[in-house]
Amino acid sequence: MNENDYTKEELIEEIYRLKSQLSEYENRDGKSEETGSDLMSGLDLNEESFSDMFSSILSFGGFDLQNIQVEFLNVMIGNIPNPSYCQNSEGVYLGANSYFEELVGKSIEEIKGKTVRDIIPKEIAEEEYRKDLELIQNQNMMNYEMQFPAANGELREIVISKSVFKNFDGSVAGVIGVINDITEKKRAELALIESEKKLREANATKDKFFSIISHDMKNPFTTLLGFTEMLTDDYDEFDDAERKSFIEEMRNVSRYSYKLLENLLKWAKLQMGKLEFKPVELNLAAAANEVIMNLNEDAKMKSVELINNINESINVNSDLMMMNTIIQNLFSNAIKFSKENGKAEITADVKNGFAEVAVKDNGIGIKEEDISKLFRIDIH
């Protein structure tokens, strides 16, 4: 007899009969020796007929399995603390929780019965619709990151996890999705990357600072040591005028060294963002003359002539300390790499309201690929 031939009363009666028969088996002596297979055989009821009969009973009782399933899903996603939703196999929303409503800026009444094309911005709706169809076709799970324009205008970083859910007969009923907002996590990661970058730059600045000190401070101290050794070892061989000349040179070198160190400390503060840029109007030729005077002893030791060919009428708005440091470094490099009895010349040309300063020498020159590295603090 097929279960569809049963009346409601007959089905209820059949269940009571099966229950009674099951009780007899449980009370029978030696029941521990009977297997589940023996029991099912005794009942003359297989899994398929029992499932069909159960469905018929629910149907006779006025139950709708599909509605029960949807209600169960809505209760489940309602308790998930993340934006969540469920759709049928055609992509129509069956339900969503309050977090999803807030994310898309629509009420549940506006969401139900609509597709993703009606709910989220067009620029991402088509791709989401395609992914849902792919998911239903493959009957698997899907996880991916994306940027989502939330209803409040913010661009959120989210991770979407989707999976199909099935009917009682095993066919695909639809898709359930859970959204995890990782915006703050991403921001924290970017902040960490930026912090690490600043740390590397700070370390590079520190290394460059010590590199410059060892480079720029070495020559004046060498000069000082030379004069002091001459005065100490051969003091009596020089007359008062010569000794006074040596002392004056030592004073000039000491002043230059102190000023150089002071500029280097200010430069280090500037690199770390602790020094304010204070531009003033200054005469470019006068600034160059001051640097040449400070470097004159270094140039003499290598027989290099320092020449200032900047027009005295050129005035610029610049930070005096920064300008002096730049000119000083250019001249120092020119002296270092120039041949003996060579020349290092500084010039300036006004173009479009800016002064273009150049230092030219007769040294070995700079490779084309190294020019861009001149003012980089991370390359020594």
Note the pLDDT tens digit of each residue in 226-275.
888 888 888 888 888 888 888 888 887 887 778 777 777 777 776 666 66
Residue 19: CB partners within 8 Å, gap ≥ 6? none
- pLDDT tens-digit map of 238-249: 888 888 888 888
Burial of 108 (0-12, 13-18, 19+ CB in 10 A): middle
Of the candidate CATH numbers 1.10.540.10, 3.40.50.300, 1.10.287.130, 3.10.28.10, the domain formed by 192-273 belongs to 1.10.287.130
| DSSP notation for 247-269 | HHHHHHHHHHHHHHHHHHHHHHH
CATH number for 277-380 (one of 1.10.1740.10, 2.40.10.10, 3.20.20.70, 3.30.565.10): it is 3.30.565.10
Q: Give residue 225's pLDDT.
A: 85
Confidence of residue 200 (pLDDT cuts 50, 70, 90): confident
8 Å CB contact between 7 and 15: no
DSSP-derived 3-state class of residue 188: helix
For tokens 């809505």, what's the residue? 74
Query: For residue 152, which amino acid is it?
Result: N
The CATH code of domain 65-181 reads 3.30.450.20
pLDDT in the model for residue 157 = 93
Residue-level pLDDT at 181? 92
Per-residue pLDDT, 40: 40
